[in-house]
Structure 1
Amino acid sequence: MTSEERFGVTEDGFVVKGIDRIVADQQARARAMFGEDVDLTSGSALRKVLDAAAVDTHELWRALEAQYYAGFVTTAQGPSLDLLGRDLGLPRRALRAHGTIGLTLTRPEPDRRYVLPEGTVVETVPDETAPDATALAFRTTRAVTLTATGTTASVEAEAVVRGPDGDIGTTRRLRLEPAWTRHNLNLGTAEVTPFVQNAFEGGDLGEPDGDYRARLLGVPRTVWTQEALLAQVLDVDGVRDAAVFDPLGGVEATRRAYGTFRYGTRTFTRPRQTGSPYFFDIVVATEPGWPWTSENDAVPGVYDQVLEAVAQWRPVSVFPTVLAANQVDIGMRATLVVEAGHNAQAAEGAILDAVRGSVNRLRLGNGVLYSDIVLSARTAAGVVDVQNLRLRRFAPAFGQTYYGGATYGGAQELSAGENLVLAPDEIARFSVDSSLVDIQVVGT
């Protein structure tokens, strides 16, 4: 081994000694012990013993390498990553059970479409075998449309609560959650009966190492900062995104006095006295189907969960104001050119799914870029060109917060090539069945 060759823990990490180097070192020691004329050919007994020992030694080196990298979040795997997460106070989360729910429409009105949006909440019904069992809630992951001619449909769904409790079989009875249905649907005389079509599975599994590692790397190493608080809020079930607006921790542009101060002659703000109340805002965007306030035990409200999470972190006399983000429905009008031989409806559906995934991944205040929509549309098979694309937006769904730039009123259609800009308290949402979507498909 030359002076430059180093094995084990080095400045560049852990370097494993290769099996060729192990064999060479063992043969050198054998010659030093038994003489230069010792038989080390491939057929000799000593050579076979040394080769067998070299394999075991190489496995030991590999085990040492795994043990070394198991001490870092970026490289640890499996149980080693669990131990690091336990040290940080962030255990691995269980997954939500996934399955398929069937829907049956009865007593429909003619010429009426019944749309069950993404996030429709269904719950289990107690039966004779478990009359006192707690109701389990599930959320659909796609929108479903039922009509008098199409009274049945299937949709994927996931359990609201993480863990194995969500693993239910096809024998469990379901119903639309009454409180959610009362506030979000208008079925009239019609009834929608859900049932478990395919059993729910996967709740007994833990989140993958990649997802768990990303959460651990994002854990702030501070006690009370905006980043530490935001990490706790984002970890709450039902939260799509959140933002902290701290008037003393940063410039707050919503106050009336902002912009009227003459810097250098007047103080921008007075220092906070110890023990005096201090307020800040947390703007929270929810996932579809999650209620804002707790109306029952089946689906906990996001507002109550965020308050509970923040209460364990906030210092004395520091109080948060939790506000719902302004949800902006996004649409589009465009003409798609599709190659001959491709199904027009399939191409349109693939494009809408791609745009839906792109828009619904955006965070608070992130606008919708024209180029991103074009790129998402061009990823669909058979699409040759996207012409006359114009983005559309509807008025914010809530209007509870205002941090500058929010637009209220009717729908807007932007010019071709124009990006859709959102305010810091607005978040974009795209639905494939939205009335704001107007797509024409033409062939080449």
Structure 2
Amino acid sequence: MTSEERYGVAADGFVVKGIDRIVADQQTRARAMFGDDVDLTSGSALRKVLDAAAFDTHELWRALESQYYGTFITTAQGPSLDLLGCDLGLRRRELRARGPVFLAIAKEEAGRRYALPRGTVLVTEPEADGSVLAFRSTRAAVLSTEQKSATVDVEAVVRGDAGNISAGRKLRLDPEWARHNLTMGAAEVEAVAQQTFHDGDVGESDAVYRARLLGVPRTVWTQEALLAQVLDVNGVRDAAIFDPLGGVEATRRTFGTFRFGSRAFSGDRRTGSPYFFDIVVAAEPGWPWHSGESLVPGVYDDVLDVVKQWRPVSIFPDILAANQVDVGMRATLVIEAGHDEEAVKGAILDAVRTSVDRLRLGHGVLHSDIVLSARTAAGVVDVQNLRLRRFAPAFGQTYYGGGTYGGSQELSVGENLRLAPDEIARFSVDTSMADLQVVIT
């Protein structure tokens, strides 16, 4: 082996000895032991024994490589990644059970449409101990006299195999959630699981688990440490921490009008005096803010319980709900002849919703991202004159500058939709803000 041929642990990682190198080394040792005239042709018995041993040796090298890379979070996989997670106190989470549910309406009023938004909470009938399983719809449904039934996909609120209910299991609207979010009147909604639910007994992927492990803070009280705990709460889509004394205090309306050269911007906190900071939380669609609004635990209460365990003495959180900004669009679609117009529209709306749902607090909606998402649908040739729209968010308790209240907007072609730090974008496929005109080529 020359000085350049280094195998095993090296500066750039682990170098595996290839099968060709192993075979060559074994043949060299065989000639040294039995002489240069030993028969090492492909048909000889000795050659076959050496080749079989070479494959076993190569597998051993590969196992050593796997063991080496299994000691690092960035490269570990499967059980090795689980062991590293145990060291950090963060286990691999189970997925939420998912499955289709058939919805049917009864006792409805003639001429009225009943919209069940994304996030509608459905629960099973109470067990003997009063416990129920809760599920949230992942799509909106509209029921009426003309369309008395629909099928929507739902996911379990709680992770784990308990949500893997069997086909034919009856569900019903969560009465408390419906009372706070719907106006059903005398109408009743019946729900039945169409298929056996799945994924509840499956762990999250290595990529997702690895990202969570890499985000584990190594300190006790920092914004990053607290944010990691808040983001792990059920029902939290995103969160942001505004710490006045830990950074620039942009929460006050006087920010930007201060005369920095003439007076101090913010005084230091006295030892022992109470100190408050803001946590702005964006909840997933349909998730209740306070407990009591649904059989599902409220996001506010769960976040508060987590923060209580992490905050130092005399430091108190002010947990605030983020403003949900409904985003829409108006555009002209050029599609190829032979494609179903409604199917193309539905695919585009799904792609745009997926793109918008990935945005975090304060991140605006880029015109180019929506165009690219729309063009991923099969049959779309071009997207022309696309204008983004926004509904004004409901006025909340927070104001970090830049929020727009009091009316809807339609932006110019090519203009990006900007959001304030306490706003988060939300796109609903059933919103009236989506206006798509189709041109057939």
TM-score by length of 1: 0.95
Q: Secondary structure of 1:199's match?
A: coil
Q: Select between 212-221 and 266-275 the one with higher mean Cα deviation.
A: 266-275
Question: Does the 8 Å CA contact 2:344/2:379 hold for their aligned counterparts?
Answer: yes
Listed one character per residue, the Cα deviations across residues 342-398 of structure 1 (whole Å, up to 9, x for unaligned) are 222112112211211111211111111222222222222222333332221111135
Q: How many Å separate the matches in 1 of 2:48 and 2:384?
A: 72
Listed one character per residue, the Cα deviations across residues 69-112 of structure 1 (whole Å, up to 9, x for unaligned) are 11011111111100001111110001100111111111222221
Q: CA deviation at 1:51?
A: 2.0
Tell me if 1:432 matches 2:429.
yes
**What is the identity, as a one-letter code, of the residue corresponding to 2:9?**
V
Q: How many Å separate the matches in 2 of 1:386 and 1:120?
A: 32
How is 1:215-230 mapped onto 2 (pairs within 5 angstroms)?
215-230=212-227
Q: How many Å separate the matches in 1 of 2:29 and 2:144?
A: 83
- 2:22 corresponds to which residue? 22
**What is the identity, as a one-letter code, of the residue corresponding to 2:271?**
T
**What is the identity, as a one-letter code, of the residue corresponding to 1:288?**
P
Q: Secondary structure of 2:250's match?
A: coil
Q: Select between 407-416 and 248-257 the one with higher mean Cα deviation.
A: 248-257
- 2:239 corresponds to which residue? 242
Tell me if 1:169 matches 2:166.
yes
Q: How many Å separate the matches in 2 of 1:396 and 1:53?
A: 69
**What is the identity, as a one-letter code, of the residue corresponding to 1:43?**
G
- 1:325 corresponds to which residue? 322
1:272 to 261, 269, 273: 269
Q: How many Å separate the matches in 1 of 2:401 and 2:251?
A: 7
- 1:369 corresponds to which residue? 366
Tell me if 1:383 matches 2:394.
no
Q: CA deviation at 1:18?
A: 1.1
**What is the identity, as a one-letter code, of the residue corresponding to 2:438?**
V
**What is the identity, as a one-letter code, of the residue corresponding to 2:275?**
Y
Listed one character per residue, the Cα deviations across residues 154-204 of structure 1 (whole Å, up to 9, x for unaligned) are 111000000011111124321100000001111122111111111112111
Tell me if 1:417 matches 2:420.
no
Q: Secondary structure of 1:388's match?
A: strand
- 2:310 corresponds to which residue? 313
Q: How many Å separate the matches in 2 of 1:318 and 1:429?
A: 32
Question: Does the 8 Å CA contact 1:125/1:172 hold for their aligned counterparts?
Answer: no
Tell me if 1:298 matches 2:295.
yes
Q: How many Å separate the matches in 1 of 2:259 and 2:294?
A: 53
Q: How many Å separate the matches in 1 of 2:12 and 2:357?
A: 40
2:147 to 150, 159, 164: 150
1:190 to 180, 187, 190: 187
- 1:8 corresponds to which residue? 8
Q: CA deviation at 1:210?
A: 1.2
Tell me if 1:102 matches 2:102.
yes
Tell me if 1:199 matches 2:196.
yes
Q: How many Å separate the matches in 2 of 1:117 and 1:73?
A: 39
Listed one character per residue, the Cα deviations across residues 283-320 of structure 1 (whole Å, up to 9, x for unaligned) are 00010111001117731111111111122211111111
Aligned residues: 441
Unaligned runs of 5+ in 1: none
Unaligned runs of 5+ in 2: none
Q: Share of identical aligned residues, percent?
A: 74
- 1:114 corresponds to which residue? 114
Change in Cα spacing, 1:439 to 1:40, as seen in structure 2 (3 Å) is closer
Question: Does the 8 Å CA contact 1:324/1:398 hold for their aligned counterparts?
Answer: no
Q: How many Å separate the matches in 1 of 2:426 and 2:334?
A: 25
Q: CA deviation at 1:431?
A: 0.7
Change in Cα spacing, 1:86 to 1:398, as seen in structure 2 (3 Å) is farther
How is 1:14-163 mapped onto 2 (pairs within 5 angstroms)?
14-126=14-126, 130-132=127-129, 134-163=131-160
Q: How many Å separate the matches in 2 of 1:356 and 1:261?
A: 40
Tell me if 1:180 matches 2:215.
no
Q: How many Å separate the matches in 1 of 2:437 and 2:24?
A: 71
Q: Select between 81-90 and 345-354 the one with higher mean Cα deviation.
A: 345-354
- 2:339 corresponds to which residue? 342
Q: Select between 404-413 and 217-226 the one with higher mean Cα deviation.
A: 217-226
Q: How many Å separate the matches in 2 of 1:12 and 1:52?
A: 30
Q: How many Å separate the matches in 1 of 2:351 and 2:359?
A: 13
Question: Does the 8 Å CA contact 1:327/1:398 hold for their aligned counterparts?
Answer: no
Question: Does the 8 Å CA contact 1:136/1:298 hold for their aligned counterparts?
Answer: no
**What is the identity, as a one-letter code, of the residue corresponding to 1:32?**
A
Change in Cα spacing, 1:35 to 1:120, as seen in structure 2 (3 Å) is same
Q: How many Å separate the matches in 1 of 2:413 and 2:61?
A: 61
Question: Does the 8 Å CA contact 1:325/1:398 hold for their aligned counterparts?
Answer: no
Q: How many Å separate the matches in 1 of 2:436 and 2:168?
A: 41
Change in Cα spacing, 1:297 to 1:441, as seen in structure 2 (3 Å) is closer
Q: Select between 207-216 and 294-303 the one with higher mean Cα deviation.
A: 294-303
Q: How many Å separate the matches in 1 of 2:198 and 2:332?
A: 41
Q: CA deviation at 1:436?
A: 1.8
